[in-house]
Amino acid sequence: MPSFAPRRKDPTEPLLLGSRVVPLLMVRHLRARRYLLRLRPDGTARVTIPRGGTQTEARAFVERNRAWLEEQFQKLQARPRHPLRWHPGSEIFFRGEKFRIESATDGQIRFGSETLKVADTTTDLRPAIEKHLRSLAARELPPRVLAFAAQHQLIVARVTVRNQKSRWGSCSRRGTISLNWRLIQTPDFVRDYIILHELAHRRQMNHSARFWQEVERLCPDYLTAERWLKAHREFLR
Ligand SMILES: [Zn+2]
């Protein structure tokens, strides 16, 4: 006879991880073949107990994988909170600075020097703001590329501003430089480094030692920009 009694709540116990206590959730799973451990995004450790397994064995399994769990926990802590939706109060990067989105009267929103009108300030503002940032980027980035190209006597066929998900820029063999509109969100020195990096590809279509020499010549402080990009990887997520 099937039982309709509510399933007993899976037991949780405190687990000391480094200097913190995290909840350890033990979940029995009849189809599981072995013990499994994972760290949930909310910081709860979850161990799956297979058919015939015991909580004692589960604890021993967690102990054996303690180093791995600590590493996962550190990664979780280090992950920047980059909100998927933007609302009044959300913080966004603009020209390398963090600004809070403020809502004004008449359906206007503000951040930094920018003011724009949106249909409804209570819905996700991200699409409208991104559209605005993208149009600023389309206006500002190409002249910047052409100015650097002229300064360094490099020929550029075309500049496009795009919505790349995994790269900041690219340079084709034919001399088209494509830049990510999100460069309007990074500090100016980072934006300039990406532009100069792509321009350096007009001399070296690779990432050889010679290429990096060229980058260093065009942008002596490029490592600082590389570090900024590394520390703000969440932009391209
Ligand atoms: Zn490159």
Ligand 1 centre to CA of 219 (Å) is 14
What is the sign, positive or negative, of the torsion defined by CA atoms of 164, 166, 169, 174?
negative
Report how far ligand 1's centroid is from the alpha carbon of 208 (Å).
Answer: 10
pTM comes to: 0.67
Quote the ligand 1 centre to 236 CA distance (angstroms).
16
Cα 19 to chain center, whole Å?
27
User: 29 CA distance to ligand 1 centroid (A)?
Assistant: 48
How would you write the pLDDT of the chain (237 residues) with one tens digit per residue? 343 444 456 788 889 887 788 889 999 988 889 999 999 877 889 999 999 999 999 999 999 999 999 998 888 877 665 667 899 999 999 999 999 999 977 889 999 999 999 988 888 999 999 999 999 999 999 999 999 999 999 999 999 999 988 899 999 999 999 999 999 999 999 999 999 999 999 999 999 999 999 999 999 999 999 999 988 877 765
Element (H, E) at 37: strand 36-39
Q: What is the CA radius of gyration of the chain?
A: 25
Please say whether the dihedral angle defined by the alpha carbons of residues 61, 64, 68 and 71, taken in this order, is positive or negative: positive
